[in-house]
């Protein structure tokens, strides 16, 4: 039987797209959510765009959607909190569940789980931010990052030869918690691997225009160049994909995730930095690019993510009269 036209695939389904939210990544989420909502409408769904605030439970109870597409990024929307609300409401939702979301967002706990699962991760650890400002807790160069933020928010590099320890962590504007993750800086290439249904997609090489893959490099126009597939030896690409699949499984992830890695091509060192349980779906995002490289366009990717969520929570979207498994 031929597949129905895209406009019929979600006909009759009511999808609530959760976007915006309360985190420092609100603006990115608004863009991700708008792109996904537009795709869902093209696929025939009835779409409710929900700017997720603290009244989310009341809003969703009134809307009664068939499934929620969680396009939130950062704390609250990506750390298990919203997932818990959706579990309580009994609503199917995209991406990872409560435990995997909470683990992946907490960098220290995620590293412990990943290391126990055989995934190669950087050294370093958690330190009080005032201790980090008082002395070099690691020999420079090293990276300082909040323990529970995404999109490189609050991340900065302490360069080799730096005389003073970083003072940014004790500035009045610091709102990212009392403990920070400090890791040795891995020279070399920034890599990313999307994992869809437990299987790695491909490897992207990221070349930031600023020399450091910070928030602006990720989301600013012209902030970075994405090279698909990455210019690395086949055996390194295979290892990057294997590590990403292992990380996805170790954290108990589902749906689509993205792992970020660093590869020191001089010393042949590959480490996995973190797993993103709700990868960006913006025009410059990595997972849609990787899906397209594998022949899956944006609408088909959004369709798969939505069907995957609905199949787990309600027996499958009956686009052909059959139940998904």
Active site residues: 25, 151, 219, 258, 260, 274, 276, 280
Right CATH for 6-94+297-314 from 3.40.50.720, 3.90.79.10, 3.40.50.20, 3.40.50.970:
3.40.50.20
Q: How much is the pLDDT for 6?
A: 58
* Model pLDDT, residue 149: 75
Residue 322 is predicted with a pLDDT of: 36
Torsion angle of the four alpha carbons 72, 76, 79, 83, in this order, in degrees rounded to the nearest 10: -80
pLDDT at residue number 315? 42
In angstroms, the CA 94 to CA 43 distance is: 17
- Residue 316's pLDDT is 40
pLDDT, residue 220, reads 53
The rounded Cα 181 to chain-centroid distance in angstroms is: 18
For the chain, what percent of residues have pLDDT higher than 90?
79
Q: Is the CB of residue 260 less than 8 Å from the CB of residue 191?
A: yes
Return the pLDDT at 150: 59
Residue 317: per-residue pLDDT: 43
pLDDT value, residue 156: 86
β-bridge pairing 14-19 and 67-70:
parallel
Inter-residue contact 151 to 188 (CB < 8 Å): no
Q: In the structure encoding, which two tokens stand for residue 151, read together?
A: 């999109």
Q: Which CATH class is domain 104-121+187-276?
A: alpha beta
- Which helix H or strand E contains 144, and what residues bound it? strand 142-146
Q: Residue 222: what pLDDT?
A: 58
Q: What is the pLDDT along the chain (325 residues), one digit of tens a residue?
A: 344 555 668 988 999 999 999 998 899 999 999 999 999 999 999 999 999 999 999 999 999 999 999 999 998 999 999 999 999 999 999 999 999 999 999 999 999 999 999 999 999 999 999 999 999 999 999 999 999 875 467 888 999 989 899 999 999 999 889 999 999 999 999 999 999 999 999 999 999 876 555 445 444 555 689 999 999 999 999 999 999 999 999 999 999 999 999 999 999 999 999 999 999 998 779 999 999 999 999 999 999 999 999 888 754 443 333 333 3
């Amino acid at each position: 039987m031929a597949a129905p036209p895209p406009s019929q695939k979600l006909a009759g389904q009511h999808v609530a797209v959760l976007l915006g939210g309360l985190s420092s990544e609100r603006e990115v989420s608004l863009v991700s959510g708008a792109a996904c909502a537009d795709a869902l409408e093209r696929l025939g769904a009835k779409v409710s765009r929900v700017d997720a605030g603290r009244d989310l439970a009341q809003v969703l109870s009134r809307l009664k959607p068939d499934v929620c597409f969680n396009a939130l990024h950062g704390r609250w929307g990506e750390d298990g909190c919203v997932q818990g609300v959706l579990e309580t409401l009994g609503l199917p939702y995209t991406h990872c569940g409560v435990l995997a979301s909470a683990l992946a967002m907490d960098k220290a706990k995620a590293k412990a789980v990943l290391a126990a699962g055989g995934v190669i991760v950087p050294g370093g650890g958690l330190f009080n931010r005032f201790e980090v400002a008082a002395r070099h807790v690691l020999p420079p160069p090293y990276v300082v990052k909040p323990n529970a933020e995404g999109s490189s928010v609050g991340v900065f590099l302490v360069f080799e030869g730096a005389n003073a320890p970083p003072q940014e962590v004790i500035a009045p504007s610091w709102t990212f918690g009392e403990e920070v993750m400090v890791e040795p800086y891995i020279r070399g290439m920034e890599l990313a691997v999307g994992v869809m249904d437990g299987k790695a997609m491909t490897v992207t090489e990221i070349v930031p225009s600023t020399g450091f893959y910070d928030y602006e490099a990720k989301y600013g126009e012209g902030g970075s160049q994405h090279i698909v597939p990455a210019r690395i030896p086949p055996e390194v690409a295979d290892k990057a994909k294997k590590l990403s699949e292992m990380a996805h499984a170790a954290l108990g992830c589902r749906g689509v995730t993205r792992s970020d890695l660093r590869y020191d091509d001089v010393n042949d060192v590959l480490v996995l930095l973190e797993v993103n349980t709700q990868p960006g779906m913006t025009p410059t995002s990595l997972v849609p690019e990787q899906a397209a490289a594998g022949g899956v366009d944006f609408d088909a990717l959004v369709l798969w993510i939505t069907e995957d969520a609905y199949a787990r929570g309600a027996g499958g979207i009956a686009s052909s009269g059959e139940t998904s498994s």
